[in-house]
Amino acid sequence: MINFNQVNKRYPGGYQALKNLSLNIAEGEMVFITGHSGAGKSTLLKLIAAIERPNSGSVLVNNQNVGVLKERALPYLRRNLGIIFQDHKLLFDRNVFDNVLLPLQICGFDHRESAKRVRAALDKVGLLKREKSHPIALSGGEQQRLCIARAIVNRPSILLADEPTGNLDAAYAQEIMAIFKSFHQVGATLLISTHDTSVLQDTRVRTIDLKNGELQSTPVSGPT
Amino acid sequence: MRHALTQHLLVLRTALHRIFSSRLGGFFNILVIGIALSLPAGMYVLLQNVQGLVTQLSGTPQISLFLSMDAKSDDIDRLRRQLVQHPAIARVEFVARADALAQLKQSTGLADVIGGLQQNPLPDAFIVYPKSGEAQALEALRNELAKLSKVELAQLDSTWAYKLEALLSFGRILVLTLAGLLSLALVAITFNTIRLQILTQSSEIEVSKLIGATNSFIRRPFLYFGAAQGLLGGIMAWFIITIGLVLLNHQLKALSLLYASQFMLHPMSFGDSISLLLFSMYLGWLGAWLSVARHLSQIEPR
């Protein structure tokens, strides 16, 4: 489903974020990307969403080389992805409901169908009772869950999460992980980057460890 | 289809909401656009009115032929025959000197002065209505008639109208220049408003791009905003002009009573009003489009 083939990414200014990276993620897999900060975790996710483009090598998503995708085609790639951003990127000028509604408005869903889907997504992350609240009134964990609701409302086949448990305490982090696992169970492909290996202790999932932009260990696949 | 329509209506509602939610700022923008548009459009309406007056007054150009004082009735009959047979003349009217004096007495209130005259100072006259209204043909005809015997003076009555016409074309160019400049100003105002809007909504634009919004989806509310603001500015201009005309007409009424005439300024015609609104809407859209084209690409998610 997702294929990296000898990918190099160098940022303007000379910083080499990824070095000759090759990996393969199958449909329905749940993969953790670990590594120190600056190891290239975010860059890897950004390349999948074509937010960044590789300097060499190819990134295939559903057999489509997203590295050379035309500007015009980008929106349609991104509609198949659910992205949970490290900095949330919530909109503070509207309430919880409207934040989750945005992806559906963009895709042009009609109003009644949208409302149904928004409530379903909010229910899944446990924010149904807060739909009228403004994001500023939510706790850090709730904001994170809102971000997840927005990413899944479109029912994407691939979910990318950049440090979703970044600054949450252990209990919240476990809660979030439980939500991700439930998506995995219904067949979504998940890529979750984290520097916090403690959340992985009780799970046996494939881990991709990055160090200075290179694969650190052979990926181990395990049953979940 | 219905679906696409509701989407557009939704965007339009958002755009209008943005105008009215920034009450004072939005209103001032519309006011500035209205004033900028009302200047050339108002001048245009005034010109139209004066133009109407000119064609009304000079619609049938006349040449007055004043005969010499020693013209006898034989001469007058001969002249009348010559004039009636002339191919360039449509109609001829004879004004006897006695009638002319009586008319003068009646219409100017100079009865006392005229009553004191020893003899009638006015000559017999013909009023000639030419077939052609063209300036050159009229001038040629006047010269020809002036050479007829017993004709003292041939006077083209509508020369002043042609002078006014020349003045009007000068005014028209002035209006066009002004309209051009102020249209640019309108585009600039919208450009800047949209630029500020894009800046304040950069996070929304960025997020939208990240979750799969096409460029036209992002552009749409700004274009609608520009067009709506332009249209509201046009409506403002229309009201400024109409109120201005009402005020002017109020004054004119008193003035035209003094001159015993019925001159009134006509309001903007329906067609012109629609043109004004469409044009201002288009300019607003254009300003928004330029601004969006210039600034949207600068907001790229990273």
Instruction: Express each pLDDT in B143-193 by its tens digit.
Output: 888 888 788 888 877 666 677 778 888 888 999 999 999 999 999 999 998
pLDDT in tens, B2-39: 567 777 777 788 777 777 776 667 788 899 999 999 99
Residue A12 CA, distance from chain mean position: 24
> What percent of chain B is predicted at pLDDT more than 70?
90
Judged on CB neighbours under 10 Å (0-12, 13-18, 19+), B101 is middle
**Assigned token pair, B178:** 């002004």
Average of per-residue pLDDT across B108-112: 68
Give the pLDDT band of residue B140 (cuts 50, 70, 90). confident
For A81, the closest chain B residue by CA position comes to B211
Which range in A190-204, B126-140, B224-238 is most confidently predicted, on average pLDDT?
Answer: B224-238
pLDDT at B60 over 70: no
With left for phi above 0 and alpha for psi between -120 and 50, is residue A88 left, alpha or beta?
left
CA-based max dimension of chain B: 103
User: What's the confidence (pLDDT) of residue A223?
Assistant: 45
Chain A / chain B CB contacts < 8 angstroms: 54
Per-residue pLDDT of chain A (224 residues; tens, 9 = 90+): 899 999 999 988 888 889 999 999 999 999 999 888 888 888 999 999 999 999 999 999 988 999 888 888 999 999 999 999 988 899 998 999 999 999 998 888 888 899 999 999 999 888 999 989 999 999 888 898 999 999 999 889 999 999 888 777 788 888 888 888 888 888 889 999 988 777 666 667 888 888 888 887 654 544 44
User: What's the confidence (pLDDT) of residue A222?
Assistant: 46
User: What's the confidence (pLDDT) of residue B9?
Assistant: 79
User: What's the confidence (pLDDT) of residue B69?
Assistant: 82
User: What's the confidence (pLDDT) of residue B291?
Assistant: 93
The reply to whether residue B207 touches residue A49, judged by beta carbons under 8 angstroms, is: no
Whole-Å CA distances, B54 to A46, B59, B158, B246: 72, 8, 10, 21
User: What's the confidence (pLDDT) of residue B180?
Assistant: 93
Is the Cβ of A51 closer than 8 Å to some Cβ of chain B? yes
The reply to whether residue B3 touches residue A49, judged by beta carbons under 8 angstroms, is: no
**Assigned token pair, A42:** 């975010």
pLDDT in tens, B243-274: 999 999 888 888 777 766 677 888 888 999 99
Report chain B residues touching chain A, CB-CB < 8 A: 3-4, 6-7, 10, 203-204, 206-215, 217, 301-302
What is the CA angle A37-A38-A42, rounded to 5?
90
Domain boundaries, chain B: 2-57+162-298, 63-157
Is the Cβ of A87 closer than 8 Å to some Cβ of chain B? no
Using a CB-CB cut-off of 8 Å, the residues of chain B touching A105 are 10
**For A191, how many CA atoms within 13 A lie in the half-sphere containing its CB?**
30
ipTM surpasses 0.90: no
User: What's the confidence (pLDDT) of residue A202?
Assistant: 60
Is the Cβ of A103 closer than 8 Å to some Cβ of chain B? yes
- The architecture CATH gives domain B63-157: 2-Layer Sandwich (3.30)
Average of per-residue pLDDT across B104-130: 77
Among B206, B211, B302, whose Cβ lies nearest the Cβ of A103?
B211
User: What's the confidence (pLDDT) of residue A218?
Assistant: 53
> What percent of chain B is predicted at pLDDT more than 90?
28
Average of per-residue pLDDT across B65-73: 83
User: What's the confidence (pLDDT) of residue B245?
Assistant: 92
Mean pLDDT of chain B: 84
User: What's the confidence (pLDDT) of residue A217?
Assistant: 64
